[in-house]
Amino acid sequence: SQTIHQWPATLVQPVGSPLSLECTVEGTSNPNLYWYRQAAGRGLQLLFYSVGIGQISSEVPQNLSASRPQDRQFILSSKKLLLSDSGFYLCAWSRTGPYEQCFGPGTRLTVT
Amino acid sequence: SQQGEEDPQALSIQEGENATMNCSYKTSINNLQWYRQNSGRGLVHLILIRSNEREKHSGRLRVTLDTSKKSSSLLITASRAADTASYFCATDALYTGTASKLTFGTGTRLQVTL
């Protein structure tokens, strides 16, 4: 069966510090991968998606970037965090095409 | 912007009652999906209904889709305390790529009391 991992679970970082969140998927190959952010009490906003190694599409302009160095690894990064980057970050995967997505447990990021 | 908007924002019912949540959206879709989120956790996929389907069932869940009104509803029958969670609809917009670009609503917070 497929599983998706995210780490860390929680993170407190000062403004201006770098960020690296990692997501890995097991039990499938060539998945579509997604990064979402959820503000408190709100729905999810799609940040990035990837249909293959090195292929990244950005949905909203922001202070973040994403990379996919391996087939089942998706990384969310920032060179300098802003207060507005605080939130709950969720990684997800899906099969190629219009299918449901499977979400990881999320990382709660607090920028102080 | 959020394409899906759920109604109501919050719903409190007693165990055994039915819970109905509604979702409206604005543009043409491939499919509409419903997810559940327990507090502070990741989302769990509940059901996917394609644009050419009108109704779908999964256990105690019943989803309807009216593409002419651009709306969907999620019915949870015989609710249980364990159903307490936030429920989100997500629309998968029509486009030519191979990814599933979901747009989520703001969710309905369901509280089921004993």
Q: With CB atoms and an 8 Å threshold, state whether A98 touches B4.
A: no
* Arithmetic mean of pLDDT, B11-34: 95
Q: What per-residue confidence (pLDDT) applies to A43? A: 84
Q: What per-residue confidence (pLDDT) applies to B73? A: 97
CA gap B92, B29 in Å, rounded: 6
A–B interface: beta-carbon pairs under 8 A: 70
Q: Please write the tens of the pLDDT for every residue from B32-85.
A: 999 999 998 999 999 999 999 999 999 999 999 999 999 999 999 999 999 999
Q: What per-residue confidence (pLDDT) applies to B100? A: 82
CA gap B5, A83 in Å, rounded: 27
How would you class B100 by CB atoms within 10 Å of its CB: exposed for 0-12, middle for 13-18, buried for 19 or more? buried
Q: Please write the tens of the pLDDT for every residue from A53-90.
A: 999 999 887 889 999 999 999 999 999 999 999 999 99
- CB within 8 Å of A15: residues ≥ 6 apart: A80, A81, A82, A83, A111, A112
* Residues in B 1-20 with any Cβ partner in A closer than 8 A: 2, 4
CA–CA–CA angle A76, A88, A85 (5° rounding): 65
Q: What per-residue confidence (pLDDT) applies to A96? A: 84
Residues of B in contact with A57 (CB under 8 A): 99
Cα distance from B104 to chain A (closest Cα, Å)?
6
Residues of A in contact with B98 (CB under 8 A): 32, 51, 96-97
The percent of residues in chain B predicted with pLDDT above 90, rounded, is 77
* Residues in B 37-96 with any Cβ partner in A closer than 8 A: 40-45, 48, 88, 90, 92
